[in-house]
Amino acid sequence: MKPELHALAAAPRWRSILGSAFALYFSAKLSYLIFFPSRNLLHLALLGAAALIFWRYLQDWQNMRARMRQAQQPLTWLAAWLPMPLLGSARFISLLLRDFGAFARGRNAAPPHISADHICLGFMQNSQYETAFWLVMLALLVDMPVSLFIASVIDIPPAVRPLLHGALLLATLLGVALVLAERWGMRAQRHAVSADCLYLRMGHRLHADLPFAAIRSMQRFDDNPEQFRRKQGLRAAEVLFAAPCTLFDKPNLLLEIDPQHCMITHFQTPQTCPRMVLLLLDDAGELLRAYHASQAGRQAAGA
């Protein structure tokens, strides 16, 4: 395994740090609007958010230096200064915008390439993805007039107000486009399984080839993912929940992986596969039968 990818997988996730920074600033902004109209509070929140991001940047510095040494073109060298999850997220958004263009032109989403001897594994039938989709759409459409109203009543220079209104409207339209594009692509996705490998395909979110030889165990799962993680003493980075809607979906299969032999692409960012993978499948028994048949074949070959 490449050392920079190993460092990326072992370090805390950029998305959690950015989320914490955003939550810190958002909480201060809410307090400013409702309780304490003091600009010092906003300044402190901005400094705290910047400190969180800078701390995470320092943690990832060795990884960035390794990528800089490997860069052969000026553009690649400049990109090496940015964290890989940030570049992956930018690529993820660009792919969704491309999909939105295809969706707007009335095209059908292309399913993943699956060989004739592979078994397709669906995952949308038992998912709450459609419920989450309509909730997000409702939130976006309701948030737009509320945000425009707040932007109209807060104390900002008159020349800035039209720019703020335009930015809020553009952000809402971008959110609607991304949600529509992902739903368009996700409904055509399928996992697949062969005699010796599991292929996880979830649109632009997840791409992983997991050889059965790297899967230590596979069993049915009926616990709460967060409670399971805490009971096992696992960090969030050690558990991958592969489901269309991780907020509402309940996984029905648990895979224990040997991380040293598997690389995955998660939100367009390459990383080592976590130790535990939680799957939601329409028919978990189909994958279990294929896995046990593969294990029996390997044991017979080694006997």
Cα dist. 277→189, 251, 274 in Å? 18, 10, 7
Tell me: do 268 and 121 sit in the same domain.
Answer: yes
Picking from 20, 50, 82, the residue at the C-terminal end of a domain is 82
Residue 5 binned pLDDT confidence (cut-offs 50, 70, 90): very low
Tell me: do 60 and 98 sit in the same domain.
Answer: no
Tell me: do 181 and 285 sit in the same domain.
Answer: yes
Tell me: do 61 and 92 sit in the same domain.
Answer: no
Tell me: do 69 and 9 sit in the same domain.
Answer: yes
What pLDDT, on the 0 to 100 scale, is given for residue 68? 59
DSSP string, 246-262: TTT----EEEEE-GGG-
Tell me: do 97 and 226 sit in the same domain.
Answer: yes
Tell me: do 165 and 252 sit in the same domain.
Answer: yes
Q: pTM above 0.85? A: no
Tell me: do 64 and 171 sit in the same domain.
Answer: no
- Domain that includes residue 77, residue range: 1-82
Tell me: do 43 and 102 sit in the same domain.
Answer: no
CB 28 within 8 A of CB 50: no
Tell me: do 100 and 61 sit in the same domain.
Answer: no
Q: What rounded mean pLDDT belongs to the chain?
A: 80
Indicate the number of domains in the chain.
2
Report pLDDT digits (tens) over 10-60.
334 555 555 556 666 666 555 555 555 555 655 666 666 666 666 666 656
What pLDDT, on the 0 to 100 scale, is given for residue 1? 40
Residue 285 region by backbone torsions, left for phi larger than 0, else alpha for psi between -120 and 50, else beta: alpha
**Terminal CA-CA length for the chain:** 31
What pLDDT, on the 0 to 100 scale, is given for residue 27? 61
SS3 278: strand
Tell me: do 77 and 88 sit in the same domain.
Answer: no
Picking from 21, 53, 82, the residue at the C-terminal end of a domain is 82
Q: Say if residue 4's pLDDT is above 60.
A: no
How many angstroms separate the CA atoms of 265 and 88, rounded? 9
Tell me: do 104 and 30 sit in the same domain.
Answer: no
Picking from 64, 82, 100, the residue at the C-terminal end of a domain is 82
